[in-house]
Amino acid sequence: MRVLDLSTSVAGPYAAMLLGDMGADILKIERPYIGDDARAWGPPFLDGESLWYISVNRNKRSITLDYSKPQGREVLAALIMASDVIVVNQPAQVQEKLCVDAASCHGLHSRIIHVSITGFGVRGERSGLTCYDLIAEGYSGIMDITGDADGPPQKIGAPAADMLAGSDAAFATVAALFDCSRTGNGHVIDISLVESMTRFLACRIVPYLGSQELPRRSGGKDSVIAVYQIFETADLPMTLGLGSDRIWERFWSAIGMPDVSRRSRYNSNAKRREHRAEIIKLIQKVLLTKPRDHWLTLLGRVRVPAGPIYRVDEVAADRAFHDRGLLYILEADGRQVPQVGTGFQVDGQANVPRMSPPKLGASTVEILRDIIKLSDADIAMLRKSRII
């Protein structure tokens, strides 16, 4: 499958990268001399390239093309006709102006899958508004329930809306391609950062809709599971989740206090929520007596969910992530490019990267010559006119 990635920043490039990880041929179309907006996001940089850009653009070939001009639109039209999917992230009005909206693309190629990733979708009263991950998190409700009870709302520490929207777009694209392979029909996929981020809160929104109980910020200490939070130990903090009666019993047996699990006042999650404050106080008193690694080793043996609170450098050094292929170094052009994989395995294998994130326009001539059969003279003319 061939995918034209006309998007910039994070969500669209991430969607296209996921499709590239699955084997698609990704043609990343960028503005001449400037490229993807994310190329300028830094520091930090690696050999002059933004590491944010590097994080969401592997397995792609870059072509520079100014399709705001008639000659560029002709080239883009030829590429659309030679592709299976097009990914765009411009607002609806801009898509129409540049002739990359769904109607224009289907006028050229009726089977193409048109994927639009915008802040609010291409239809609706907010469709003309601009958006970033920060804005989407605010609309979704996630910021209002993140942070300490007596503190301000907090953004998640990563571009969650972008990454979720990118994942949604890739998933919808695969489903659309599957249907197209059976029916021959093209499809229009409309992804909204705000809606992807809001979907992420389904387990908070549905309980509110059914009960009118409004969730509030609690510093991560309010959960439908009675014991599900951070605890201090003798040295470092840890997480602990006692999500079922059996786990509850195993925990107290493991720490040498099995009688606590048998108390009638604690024999269901609902009762444990009712008496949560006293339970938390008791657990915290016990965990403070030993260091974190002691508890993680002990609880791991009896299958009680618990873990460390890693810094990013600790995540990067975690051997298990490297062994499973989630974190890896891509050797390319005499340099080492750090990458985070897709996080899932197929037939026991993690994805194997084919190409490092491309230099701006590195494959322009190759793509124009091999895919739409332009001559060297045609390519030279486009370069002279600053179309490529």
Q: Which helix (H) or strand (E) holds 228?
A: strand 227-231
Residue of 25, 84, 162, 168 with catalytic role: 162
Distance CA 266, CA 317 (A): 39
Instruction: Give the sign of the dihedral formed by CA 37, CA 135, CA 20, CA 56.
Output: positive
**Nearest 5°: phi and psi at 135?**
-65, -40
Contact 289, 237 (CB under 8 A): no
Contacts 24+ apart (CB under 8 A), 97-105: 98/67, 98/68, 98/73, 99/67, 99/73, 100/6, 100/67, 100/76, 102/188, 105/80
Beta bridge mates, 118: 192
CB-facing half-sphere around the CA of 255: CA atoms within 13 A: 23
* Nearest 10 degrees: Cα torsion 264, 269, 275, 276: 140
**Nearest 5°: phi and psi at 200?**
-60, -25
**Nearest 5°: phi and psi at 114?**
-95, 120
Q: Is 36 a catalytic residue?
A: no
**Residue 250 DSSP SS3:** helix
Catalytic residues: 162
